[in-house]
Amino acid sequence: MESLLDRINSPDDLKQLSISQVENLCVEIRNFLIESISRSGGHLASNLGTVEIIVALHYVFNSPRDRLLWDVGHQTYTHKILTGRKKEISGVRSFGGISGFPKRSESEHDHYDVGHAGTSISQALGEALDRDMRVKTGETPYSVVAIIGDASIASGMAFEAMNHAGDVKSPMLVILNDNEMSISQNVGALSYSLTGLISTRFYKKSWHRFLKFARWIPIIGPATERLFVRFFANMKSIITDTQFFTELGFTYYGPVDGHDVKKLIRLLKNFKDLEKPSLLHVVTKKGKGFSHAEKDPTGYHGVKPFHPEEGIIEDSNGSWPLSEFVGNALCAMADKDERIIAITPAMREGSGLTLFAEKYPFQFFDTGIAEQHAATLSGALAKNGKIPFFCIYSTFLQRSYDQVIHDISLMSLPVRIVIDRAGVVGGDGETHQGLYDIGFLYPIPNIKILSAADEKDLLEMLYAMRDTRDAVVAVRFPRISAKSESFYKWEQKNRPFPEKNHSSVWKAREVKKGKDMALFTEGPMLRNGMEAAGILEKKGYSVSIINLKSIKPFDAKTIRAAIRGKKGIFTLENHSHPGGVGTYFLSEFFTDIQGKVFHSFGYPSLPIEHGSMEELENKYGLDASGIARKILQLLK
């Protein structure tokens, strides 16, 4: 028997269903998502929580003419299903498959490529202003809707956009999806305020009961009712705090049940002809309809393939992502020094800081999705003698660039920037690739940059960073895993930490000696360089491999010694080639490599799609065979 979902290939097909059929469709979509994502992996909990919102939006509005604009975009799988990409969901985030985020090249229903938080209201206002100008020339108006989460709306950019939208008063609808979660649990005053707004359902019920009772009181009942109406009109704004949005120029509606698709459809029909900016507050449950995800929405935010009945089974091979090494190292430091501070913009779990947050709650600060604030906060703490480690993904560090310059580096405040997910990152694709941090950090004054090839490099670098007082210092490391036992072995070998000399992190290390050519590797490219050297040696070439470790400053003495007498000089990096290690290496050692064959291996200046590190290295000629093949061509 054909299911309702089998009949849906476009929003027009959806509009042919009755309201009761739409309810059944939501159940089918949720089951389809659980089944598909359990096989392919992807963003699960966030997508289970937005099924009814997205179905209602497409049922009422006419996409793509009406603009449906998504914030972050990891919650849009239902949108993709309804807009003709149902069959492709099984390959979401895999190499060659569809993106896990909205992507303009995939569909006319995706108006923007989205992957970072806080952008949707600005884009919605731009669409609304453009529409208003078109309407003046006689074009037919259309609706503009931004869908944003309760964590994203707390970002500074969202505030700026709402403040502007309330000023120009261009009609648009903002749907606030309030599930009390981003990836980690939400933090901040606005989060508490929104949680309070949910309680207005109790307030309204109690209020109506009280008024009914007041009217019943003989003689003084009507006067009592009028008095309390005026009193509670003032009290309501204190209790519910909806004035926060009205002061920004938005008409506030809600909160409403985000899983009642019938009610959502009725409400959204009333928002088709707005006259001013409006905000609909919708309360949802992240992981809705899948018990494992409801109990652990953070753990089921982004998942690898799993069995739906058993749920995620913890990896028993004893491996940690490198971020866990960071968190455990910071705990070991904080055991002996209360000046150690960990700061993250809404990435407690992702940055491996869960244990640190539990053990040292007064030395841990999650700023929410506020990268700029987190950077400046780190600078202020460093200025006052604390030892702050600013833990952030490479792609999100971009958002705090001005603060890193203005509020940290120009004053040479010794903030330790821990750059997670540097280089290519897998399924998240273009918007999350950490391919630009060397390029934008290198020109900044008073900054040192390290790059870790593995967990041993990373641990030593973290302790060297702790002891650096004369500059900002950053360490970048890739999204790879290593055996957790490496931490405990390293910890025992290197105690006591305070007296340990970590000066070797600033020295390049010649991992392998050779006489014909030198390969200078950055970060995890050490592995590929070693494998490429093996291929080249079978062709009769003797190859030196040098792990750079310190990118700024370069260890000029070791590098010049390794260059001397070689025919070919090559740099390998897990970064964009323009503006990366190769660019700065060539600039500093230009006279030393004149007359020699030189080439810099790195990613091209293109949007690099999603795929595993191995798949992307293979495509762009950065795997061992690709490197060796290119070097042989250059030498000929």
Distance of CA 305 to the CA centre of its chain: 21
* Structure token digits, residue 509: 């290390």
Beta partners for residue 418, in sequence order: 391, 475
Q: Strand 278-283 and strand 251-257: pairing? A: parallel
Distance of CA 190 to the CA centre of its chain: 20
For this structure, is 286 an active site residue?
Answer: yes
For this structure, is 615 an active site residue?
Answer: no
Which among 98, 93, 148, 133 is positioned nearest to 281, based on CA atoms?
148
Beta strand residue intervals within 259-348, DSSP E: 278-283, 302-303, 319-321, 340-344
Answer yes or no: are the C-beta atoms of 115 and 430 closer than 8 Å.
yes
CA–CA separation, 566 and 74 (whole Å): 49
Cβ contacts of 220 within 8 Å, gap of 6 or more: none
CA–CA separation, 406 and 526 (whole Å): 34
- Maximum C-alpha span of the chain: 107
Residue 79's alpha-carbon distances to 108, 149, 427, 480, 608, in angstroms, are 12, 16, 19, 31, 24
Rounded CA Rg of the chain: 28
DSSP per-residue codes, 473-525: EEEE--S-EEETHHHHHHHHHH-SGGG---GGGGS-EEEE--SSEEEEE-TTH
CA–CA separation, 176 and 50 (whole Å): 11
* Structure token digits, residue 173: 């609808």
What would the 3-class secondary structure string for 323-339 be?
Answer: HHHHHHHHHHHHHHCCC
Does the CA dihedral 257-262-265-270 come out positive or negative? negative
- Per the listing, tokens 């799609």 go with 609
* Structure token digits, residue 219: 């003689």
Answer yes or no: are the C-beta atoms of 392 and 377 closer than 8 Å.
no
Catalytic residue among 67, 80, 285, 286: 286
Beta partners for residue 545, in sequence order: 512, 519
* Structure token digits, residue 170: 């261009």
Answer yes or no: are the C-beta atoms of 588 and 556 closer than 8 Å.
yes
CA–CA separation, 329 and 448 (whole Å): 20
Catalytic residue among 85, 348, 399, 512: 399
CA–CA separation, 184 and 288 (whole Å): 17
Burial of 609 (0-12, 13-18, 19+ CB in 10 A): middle
Catalytic residue among 127, 371, 455, 522: 371
Q: In this structure, what are the phi and psi dihedrals at residue 612, rounded to the nearest 5 degrees?
A: -70, 160
Please tell me the total number of residues recorded for the chain in this structure.
636
Beta partners for residue 303, in sequence order: 42
Q: How many CA atoms lie within 13 A of 468 on its CB side?
A: 28
Which among 197, 195, 224 is positioned nearest to 212, based on CA atoms?
224
- Give the residue numbers marked as catalytic: 286, 371, 399
